[in-house]
Each structure stands twice: as C-alpha cells, then as structure tokens.
Chain A
Amino acid sequence: MNPQNPPRVIHPWPLRVMHWLNAFAIIVLIGSGWEIYDAAPFLPFSFPQWMTIGQWLGGAIAWHLAAIWLLVINGLSYLTWGLLSGHFRRKFLPLTPRMVIQDMTQALRLHLPHETGVYNAVQRLLYFGVIFLGILVVLSGLAVWKPVQLWFLSDLFGGFFISRVVHFVAMTGIALFLAVHLILVALVPKVLPPMITGGRLPENTTPTTTMAE
C-alpha cells in the first residue's frame, strides 16, 4: 500500500463512534424530555406514553440528566475534533445561498444530488442548523435546570418559562432534523453501512473529496 495514498474512508472512526453515541443520547433525551413535558404541558397536547422514556416523571428525569452528560461530552468532542481535524472546513464549506437554492430546488423535485463522501449545500445548511440547535437546546436546558445558580442563562432567555419554551422549540427542530435524516437514509440506504464500517471512497472522486480524512 502506498503510504501517501492510504485507503480513504467515507466516515473516519472518531466520527462513527461519536455519531452512534450521539444517536443514543438524543433518542434518550427526546424520549425522556417528552415524559417530563407531559408532567406540566404548556401546549394543548401531551405525548402518548408509548413514545416516552422513563415511564414516570422521576424515571424520565433520571434518564434525562444521565444522558445529558453523554450528549455534552460527546458533543464537545465532536466540535473539537471537527475544528482541529479540518472536517468542518472540508465537509461543510463552502456554503453560499446560491448553492443552497440550487440544491434545494433539486431536492424538492426529488432529484437529490448525492455523491459519496460529499455533502450537498442543503445538507451542509442542515448540519450547521442542527449544531446550532444542539448548542441552543443545551443552554436553554441548563437555564431550566438551574434558574437560580445559572441566573445569567435564565435572564438571557427571558426567564424560567421562556427558557422552557426555547428548550421545547429547539427540541422540535432537532426532532424534525432527525425525521428528515432518517427519511433520507431510508431513501438511500447504501449510506447506512459506511456509518458503521467506515466505507471506502470510490477511486474516481472529484478533487473536493480526494483529501483523505
């Protein structure tokens, strides 16, 4: 094997490990969060019991405040790794409104541009968006958890109740992202195995993808 040209995986191992840890944490946090919401709903609906995790409020809070450590530690690792390894720069940039409009038009016509190892502009925008929502949901969650000790966060969001609303809205955005994410995987199932095995980039890739991870 030529050391200058090692096998180029689609998803390097740190990304795969963090992806599945994150998937587990997010499912637990959303499921237990819905149970917590149900204890005092502020909208005219509750989540059905079968969709929630924890079975009762005490169980849901225990799950929620256990999984948050996994989400935060894993999320900080991801942000650090993404910045230092150049992953964000290579995969998420460049991103211009023109690119987004172009790819969005294609996606809405159900002609999804897909090239192995390359994110289209809509995907890039969605990843930026969900990372932002992830930061927002953690900060608003801290504001709900500790409105006295973390009063500055509570004040930032406009008080205890608005923190709850922001937390709920951010969760909704992440849940919608997750739905789109899963539907896309269902549509293009060949993208799933590489998130487990790493996969291999095809030989004749375009110059943007030749930079090995």
Chain B
Amino acid sequence: MKSLPLNRRKLITRALGFGAIGLLPGCDFDHPNHPDLTDRVLSAMSRWNDEAQATLFDRHTLAPTFPASAITRPARFNAFYDISQAPQVNPGTWQLALTGRIANKTPLTLADLRAMKQESQITRFVCVEGWRVVGQWSGVPLAHVLKAINADTQARYILFHCADGYFTSIDMASAMQPQTIFALDFNGGPLTAPFGAPMRLRIPTKLGYKNPKSIVAMEVTNRFPGGYWENQGYNWFGGS
C-alpha cells in the first residue's frame, strides 16, 4: 500500500476547480406563459406531487391542537401586500356569492353563517416559507356549509375568490376534513381586516397560502381552478 505525499498548494487550486460545479444552469420557474423544458418538467413533477399528497391525505387524520398558552401573540400578519393595504369589507353588507355545482345558490350572509353550528380550534398555521404560528379560529365547518347549500360533494375542487383579488382552490377531500372551517373569529374576537374579516378559510391540513382571507365568492367545480400563487409555481395541493 502506498502513501501519497500531499502538496497543499495543489490541494487548494484543485478544490477551486471543483467550485465550478456549483454553476448549474439557472431555472427561475417564473414565466408560466413561456415555459421552457425545465419549467415543463418541474410542473409535471408538481402535478405528480399533487397526486402523491392526495393519496397520502386521510380525512380522519387531525392536525395537532394546542393549549391556549401556545397561541402566538401578537398574531403575525402575512400577505403579498402591506398590512395597511388589507381590504376593508363592510360586515353588514358582506355576502358570500355561490356558483358552480351548488343547488342552493342564495348568497350567504354573516348572520346565516353565525346561525350554523360553530367549531373552535387552536391549531398551527404553517407558512410555505417555513415559519409557523399558533392561533385560535372559530366558525362553521366547511362540510356543514356545503351540506346546507346542497353542494355537489362529489365534485373535485372548491375555488375561493377574495376581496383583495387573491384566489385559491382546494380538493374536495380536504374540504370535508372536520377541521376545515369558514372562520369568523380569531383569538377570541371577530376577525379583523388584516386576518381576513369578515370570513376566511382556516384549513390546518394545508399550508398558509391555501387559507384564503376575506372570501367573497365560492365555486364548486370539476375544472382545475389553480390559484394566485399556484399559477406562479407554488405546488397546488399544498398539504401539511
């Protein structure tokens, strides 16, 4: 067995040579209208990951719940705009427009939602960026709302439009999970504008961007509806 006497200078120059490996061709994945081959492959893999997550999803698996002492204070605001830009919705005139595969399309008012059975949860909100907060949300289970308006729960998707122009959509299985609620209250009081007044979706089995705020319209559909971030490259299922 031979030993190799080493030259330290050679070591450093050769190590620098390997640094060039780091210069992989860049892929920004941010031109959904002009996808190159890499974008197409990554999009296909993202759709594949949607399927994998749908398979992994079990509507009987509950997101962990926490004691009141774990609630994050002050609550953390997050949106694609500054907190001062949060939409101001008049709760007195607010209505939830209903379209698509729904038998009773009469718009829902806050009074309608308040009159339905209420559920409260202290759950963890996980952002796609990696941070998480704990909060208390109360409101009506979405499964209950869907039943009340006679929606087609065999349909594939539910699309939500928001007062700020944001939109996102979820799969029906996740919509029927018991912790998926139309939240009206947050941390003990009615929702405030930055946190989605007067009504937001709270779905602790999905990442933050699947929890739309200040919802003004809901559509039940079989046509893939995409979403604000999803159309720019975020994974659609966004499961947790």
A-side residues, CB < 8 A to B, are 27-28, 31, 36-37, 39-40, 42, 51, 53-59, 61-63, 65-66, 69, 106, 110-115, 146-151, 160-161, 164, 182-183, 185-189
A27 to B61 CA separation, bound complex (whole angstroms): 34
Which residues of the partner chain A approach B18 to less than 8 Å between Cβ atoms? Answer: 182, 185-186
Report whether B15 and A188 are in contact in the complex, using a CB–CB cutoff of 8 Å: no
Scoring B residues 162 to 204 as 1 if CB is less than 8 Å from chain A, else 0, what string do you get?
0000000000000000000000000000000000000000001
Task: Say yes or no: is B131 at the interface (Cβ < 8 Å to chain A).
Answer: yes
A56, B24: Cα distance in complex, Å = 15
Known: A62-B235, A66-B45, A112-B4. A148 touches B24 (CB 8 A): no
B45 and A62 contacting across the interface, CB-CB below 8 Å: yes
Contact A161 B132 (CB under 8 A): yes
Distance from B209 Cβ to chain A, minimum over Cβ atoms (Å) = 10
B229 located at the interface, meaning its Cβ lies under 8 Å from any Cβ of chain A in the complex:
yes
A51: nearest chain-B partner, CB-CB: B22
Interface string of B48-59 (1 = CB under 8 A from A): 110001001110
* B11 contacts A183, C-beta separation under 8 Å: yes
Q: Is B10 an interface residue (CB 8 A)?
A: yes
Contact indicator A40/B127 (Cβ below 8 Å): yes
Task: List, in ascending order, chain A residues with CB within 8 A of B239's CB.
Answer: 146, 148-149
In the complex, B111 has a CB within 8 A of chain A: no
Q: Chain A interface mostly helix, strand, loop or mixed?
A: helix
Known: A149-B239, A182-B15. A54 touches B29 (CB 8 A): yes
Q: Chain B 89-129, CB within 8 Å of chain A: the 1/0 string?
A: 00000000000000000000000000000000000101111
Known: A53-B24, A58-B30. A148 touches B15 (CB 8 A): no
Given the interface pairs A39-B130, A66-B42, the reply to whether A149 lies near B29 with Cβ below 8 Å is no
User: Is A187 in contact with B4, judged by CB distance below 8 angstroms?
Assistant: yes
**Contact present for A148 and B5 (CB under 8 Å):** no
In the complex, are the beta carbons of B128 and A55 less than 8 A apart? no
Is there a chain A Cβ closer than 8 Å to B17's Cβ?
A: yes
Complex Cα spacing A187 to B53, Å: 45
The CA-CA distance from A55 to B29 in the complex, in Å, is 8
Q: Are A111 and B4 in contact (CB under 8 A)?
A: yes
Any chain A CB within 8 A of the CB of B37?
Answer: no
Contacts of B11 in A (CB 8 A): 183, 186-187
**Once the chains bind, are A187 and B29 in contact (CB under 8 Å)?**
no
Contacts of B14 in A (CB 8 A): 183, 186-187, 189
Instruction: Say whether B132 contacts A186, CB under 8 Å.
Output: no
CA A167 – CA B48 in complex, angstroms?
23
Max chain B C-beta neighbours (<10 A), residue from A39, A65, A150: A65
B87 at the interface (CB under 8 A from A): no
Query: Nearest-CB distance from B4 to chain A (Å)?
Result: 5
Nearest CB of B to A213, in Å: 20
Q: Could you tell me if A148 and B205 are in contact, using CB atoms closer than 8 angstroms?
A: yes
Of the candidates B53, B58, B233, the one having the most CB atoms from chain A within 10 angstroms of its own CB is B233
Cβ-closest chain A residue relative to B2: A114
Known: A37-B130, A58-B232, A59-B233. A27 touches B27 (CB 8 A): no
Q: Which residue of B lies closest to A32 (CB)?
A: B27
Distance from B174 Cβ to chain A, minimum over Cβ atoms (Å): 11
Smallest CB separation, A63 vs chain B (Å): 7
- Find chain B residues with CB under 8 A from A106 CB: 3
Which B24-47 residues have a C-beta within 8 angstroms of A? 24, 26-30, 41-43, 45-46
